[in-house]
Structure 1
């Protein structure tokens, strides 16, 4: 059905967390990455709501999910925010889709709170520590932070964008506010870029998980990370439509591929 979600909020750990959902069936929560805004997933709702209760949210201290005192990103707390949404909806488990930094949160969720998970899809999570050129990306991370501190958000985003791929013919995408970008650079960028949860623990936890990279992303660093992620976790790696924001730019094709991935993961679970 057309995008007509139910709006809701839940107070958890000092944040009035705003979320919205639509559809019937198992719960599927989409986790935003840098900038933290959930509206980037709105276009895909109507293409999944016959299969899932589709849900997304503004991550804490972004957009409508404000806190009194902003703090440095706590990935375990970000995972607990998703649990709070799950419980507020009366669900015992949820599947999650995490994009970019949201994918790092999804991996941390699978490490820390596997009992709440059904299936997990991690889309282009930038776990640069796993790459052969990890030292380059470590240096580049601090270079980009220096650009932000010296010249501000727009200059930092322009420098960061030089290694983004596949956006040449992209339709306009949702853009976080200046304050949300500032929060990203001041409190989130470093951890999202250099931290990698213990993927071996995810294997031990028996989490049903897959990783995915966009066909237009090609060999960008955040697509290359999916190879070692898949190898370490022994999980499927999928190529999905579009670029880093393919779910927003190509929602029909992206949704169809997500449904297939979920079916593969379910078949894999039932065969064990």
Structure 2
């Protein structure tokens, strides 16, 4: 199924739905798509209607030519997907840069969110070593310019940390070749340099920050953003198993944990109504 962007370009945004129940929207990080969540959907679809989509310019969605990389544009695209899917007030789960999109959408449209689950946001500007972190990402983008998206994506995967042997799946390599240059040129720096609009979010949108126990133990930047954001946004923090991409590589552990967190916020009084 496709939604049509509300922007002047009319980009076609691929989305898919699975299951029945309260709406749960999944937003992948840079380079990710609806396919990134294929492993966790079976653990969610019995309790939720799961909605996942390909962000503009990636995989099955169009809009690459008119993409300007702003979070405002990404938030407008998310709204188009929600409208097309008939999701009036979903729980939104955003991981990595997908959390930045969810923050921006919540700041602009708090009435459209039942709750926001932000998994390991890559909002490194909240960190004391923000300059070093941003420099790392700039170097990664320059590596893409010099050598192409595959070496740059490998640097990104190394940055993430993991508790498994890295295996480059053929589909991952194919998507990196197809989409990687676009992501490194247009998406990465906008996502990592994004700062949530705290006054627009704090106290207006139910937010729960989610961090993997492995990510926290490793001291990775996207785990260190969680306590910093929790203080700014005055919201709860929940631990889940695994690392940054456990929704791909450890879905049997990550999927039930996400379901539990989503159910916890849905079942709160006044949420989801």
- TM-score, length basis structure 1: 0.89
User: RMSD across aligned C-alpha pairs, in angstroms?
Assistant: 2.0
Counterpart of 2:212 (choices 211, 214, 224) is: 214
Residues 119 and 171 of structure 1: is their aligned pair in 2 closer, same or farther, counting only changes over 3 Å? farther
1: CA distance between counterparts of 2:73 and 2:110?
14
Query: Could you tell me whether the CA contact under 8 Å between 1:108 and 1:197 is conserved in 2?
Result: yes
Counterparts of 1:45-124 in structure 2, within 5 Å, are 45-67=41-63, 69-124=65-120
1:4 — aligned with what? Answer: none
Query: Could you tell me whether the CA contact under 8 Å between 1:214 and 1:223 is conserved in 2?
Result: yes
Unaligned runs of 5+ in 1: 1-7
Query: Could you tell me whether the CA contact under 8 Å between 1:96 and 1:119 is conserved in 2?
Result: yes
How big is the shift at 1:130?
0.4
Residues 172 and 257 of structure 1: is their aligned pair in 2 closer, same or farther, counting only changes over 3 Å? farther
How big is the shift at 1:259?
2.6
Counterpart of 1:134 (choices 107, 130, 133) is: 130
How big is the shift at 1:265?
2.4
Say how many residue pairs are matched: 263
- Which segment drifts farther, 80-89 or 166-175? 166-175
2:199 — aligned with what? Answer: 200
Please state whether the residue corresponding to 1:107 is helix, strand or coil.
helix
2:234 — aligned with what? Answer: 234
- TM-score, length basis structure 2: 0.89
How big is the shift at 1:268?
4.9
2: CA distance between counterparts of 1:68 and 1:259?
32
How big is the shift at 1:35?
0.9
Please state whether the residue corresponding to 2:143 is helix, strand or coil.
helix
Residues 267 and 230 of structure 1: is their aligned pair in 2 closer, same or farther, counting only changes over 3 Å? farther
2: CA distance between counterparts of 1:150 and 1:201?
40
1: CA distance between counterparts of 2:29 and 2:52?
12
